[in-house]
Chain A
Amino acid sequence: MPTTKTKLFWTLHILGWLIFTLVNGGLNGYLNGSQFVLVINSLVGLWGFLVTLGFRAYIHRAGWKNYSLSELVLPALTGILVVSTIWMMLSAGAAYLGVYLVNAPPTPLWILFVNGMISGLLITTVWTALYFSYHFFRRYTQAEIEKWKLEATLKEAQLAGLRTQINPHFMFNALNNIRALILEDGQKARLMLTHLSDLLRYALAETKHEQVSLKTDLETIDYFMALHSIQLEDKLHFEQDIEEGLQEVKVPPMLIQLMIENAIKHGISQQEEGGVIRLAIWRETKHLAISVKNTGRLSSSSKEQNKIGGVGIRNIEDRLALLYSGQAHFNLAEADGMVEAKVRLPLEKET
């Protein structure tokens, strides 16, 4: 089975030489009004067809197709010279023989050769240029495709890396607290262990999808907050205000969790008396607005943010950039003794 590439070559090769022969032979034949010239020129076309075919086979064998443009110049020029010389020697021979046969006064062989050589070089150059242009173009587009594929893989890997970021501090503290809870309140310990396993399952499995329904994500937020409350106890007050009818809206998994985690880390757990975390989600024309507020100040924790908080915020920004390519926005601001992290996502993601 010939490949499309091979088929294309044969089509163009045959068609090209056919047109050359018809134009060259037909034109000369018409001008000279002789059938004999037509035959000679057909032979010239056939020789050209065969010689360039041989050239192609040589190019294949020598592996010129992997050469860069600059590497190719010298071999290609030499090739053109050799090919046109062979071609013109064959053509001149044919012409000489033809002239001899019709008993016309024979033109010296070398004159026929030199005359033919100019057009021979030109035609061979055109053939070579077309042949390599196609290959360069093909190589270029293939490199482009490889680049896109690589970028897609990278994006996938980055997302996977960000997704699985369950804060180890949170996890080990939760386990430690559950261990203490087993002695204190067995029932509650069992419940918390179930929450923790649900949360881990969610982080491992559900987040394979780029987006999940808000309903699903909020369920795990409940578990997440319950586990935090056994660590922080009465220091943590959680309030939520979710607009009706947004249950099926798609959000990136664990994004809200990441925002809340940041708020706890830099807001609540920095303050001896604890504080409030307020989650609000609403529709804002064509966007979904997610706001997480915590008691505290932005400036007081800025030192900490450079060290650790930077990672959380960068994660949020990176994820939004990867998923929404510039259509989602994140900002962090302080007002009335509360720090607010706000994300705006496009409600309909362009795919």
Chain B
Amino acid sequence: MTAMIIEDSRLARNELRTLLREHPQIEIIGEARNGREALAAIPELQPDLLFLDIQMPGMGGFELLENLTEVPLIVFTTAYDEYAVKSFEFNTLDYLLKPIHPERLALTISRLEERQQKNEDQNPLKDGSHQIFVKDGERCWIVKLADIRLMEIYGNYTRIYFKEHKPLLLKSLNQLEERLDPQQFFRANRQQIINLKWIKELTPWLNGRLKATLAHGEEVEISRRQSSKLRELLSF
């Protein structure tokens, strides 16, 4: 597994390198001193994993994640247990308090390996860890694209629906659409994009249109043009 260390303090980067020597399965392929440097390096280095400090000069950890088109696995490293870290959905990522306990780091790494293994089992052809970072107010999530059922225009932003959450994403629906796999995500109408895998029921609606009911009960009317497209796509 390839990893990058993103930390502003040189000593803290060295400390983490020292600790990671015990875990040769983690290969450190780069370092960055702040979010801006990381943002420039990540597309080229394509690390599987980031060890990421939250407070950094210039661009901090959260801002970096908001700017990444694709979010790799994340382990936050922080000096103090902040409110922001607490509000995370912990199953999607991990965080380490500095100074880091070697045992705690070992636990994190075994979890990461387990997670990677699971992803490969689920989706052997594609990298299943396609995920995005969402920060709405003080809550943050790292969401797998596959978990998103519905995306909906909300002013200049987009509301995304996954599990029981529906946070706002500070990107337009069109910006998002460019990054989505058209085999999985379908433009239902001008306002909404649905995840075909989450459709529970498709019912004929007025004027040859279709209505999709999603797994959590959301109902989406599909425009006429898109309805025929969907019929074609699903070939029925």
A-side interface residues toward B, CB under 8 Å? 168-169, 172-173, 175-177, 179-181, 183-184, 230-233, 235, 268-272, 274
> Do B18 and A172 have beta carbons less than 8 Å apart?
no
Question: Binary interface profile of B, 87-115, with partner A (CB < 8 Å = 1, else 0)?
Answer: 00000000001111000000000000000
Do B80 and A177 touch (CB < 8 A)?
no
Contact A181 B79 (CB under 8 A): no
> Inside 8 A of A175's CB, which chain B residues have their CB?
98-99
Kindly identify which residue among B8, B80, B99 contacts A179, using a CB–CB cutoff of 8 Å.
B99
Q: List 7 A-B contacts (CB under 8 A).
A: A173-B79, A176-B99, A180-B15, A181-B11, A231-B9, A269-B8, A270-B57
Bound Cα distance from A4 to B3, whole angstroms: 82
Which residues of chain B come closer than 8 Å to A181, judged between CB atoms?
11
How many of chain B's residues have a CB under 8 angstroms from any CB in A?
Answer: 20
In the assembled complex, B223 has its CB within 8 A of some CB on chain A? no
Contact B9 A173 (CB under 8 A): yes
Is there an interface contact between A180 and B80, defined as CB atoms closer than 8 Å? Answer: no
Q: A269's contact among B36, B55, B97, B99, by CB below 8 Å, is which?
A: B55
Which partner residue on chain B sits nearest A268 by CB separation? B57
Taking a contact as CB atoms closer than 8 A, the residue among B10, B18, B34, B57 that contacts A233 in the complex is B10
In the complex, residue of chain B having the shortest beta-carbon distance to the beta carbon of A170 = B79
Query: Which chain A residue lies CB-closest to B60?
Result: A270
CA distance A262 to B16 in the complex (A): 28
B interface, CB within 8 angstroms of A: 8-12, 14-15, 18, 33-34, 36, 55, 57-58, 79-80, 97-100
**A-B pairs, 8 with minimum CB distance:** A180-B15, A172-B79, A180-B11, A176-B98, A177-B11, A272-B58, A176-B99, A168-B80
B98 touches A172 (CB 8 A): yes
Cβ of A232: which chain B residues have Cβ within 8 Å of it? 9
- In the complex, what distance in Å separates the CA atom of A230 from the CA atom of B170? 37
By CB atoms of chain B within 10 A, which of A177, A235, A268 has the most?
A177
| Number of A-B residue pairs with CB-CB distance less than 8 Å in the complex they form | 62
Contact of A271 among B9, B12, B58 (CB under 8 A): B58
Specify which chain B residues have a CB less than 8 angstroms from the CB of A173 in the assembled complex.
9, 12, 79, 98
Tell me the complex Cα distance, A184–B97, Å.
22
Q: Shortest CB–CB separation between residue A301 and chain B, in angstroms?
A: 12
Instruction: State the main secondary structure of chain B at its contact with A.
Output: loop
A167 to chain B, nearest CB (A): 8
Residues of A within 8 A of B58 (CB): 270-272
B85 to chain A, nearest CB (A): 12
Complex Cα–Cα for A289 and B99 (A): 38
A180 to B18, CA, bound (A): 8
Q: Which of A175, A179, A181 has the most CB of B within 10 A?
A: A179
Nearest A-chain residue to B35, judged by Cβ: A272
Most A C-beta atoms less than 10 A away, residue of B12, B14, B57: B57
With CB as the reference atom, state the residue of chain A lying closest to B37.
A272
CB pair B55–A176 under 8 Å, yes or no, is: no
CA A268 – CA B8 in complex, angstroms? 12
Q: Are A183 and B9 closer than 8 Å at their CB atoms?
A: no
CB distance B15 to A272 under 8 Å? Answer: no
Compute how far the CA of A295 lies from the CA of B18 in the bound complex, rounded to whole angstroms: 34
Known: A169-B79, A272-B36. A176 touches B57 (CB 8 A): no
- Assess whether A230 is in contact with B11, with CB atoms less than 8 Å apart: yes
> Bound complex: CA of A271 vs CA of B196, how far in Å?
45
User: Do B79 and A176 touch across chains, with their CB atoms under 8 A apart?
Assistant: yes
Please tell me if the beta carbons of B11 and A231 are within 8 angstroms of each other in the complex. Answer: yes
Chain B minimum-CB-distance residue to A168: B80
Q: How far is the CA of A241 from the CA of B39 in the complex (A)?
A: 40
Apart from A176-B79, A230-B11, what are 12 other A-B pairs with CB-CB below 8 Å? A169-B79, A172-B98, A176-B100, A179-B15, A179-B99, A180-B11, A183-B14, A233-B10, A268-B57, A269-B57, A272-B34, A274-B57
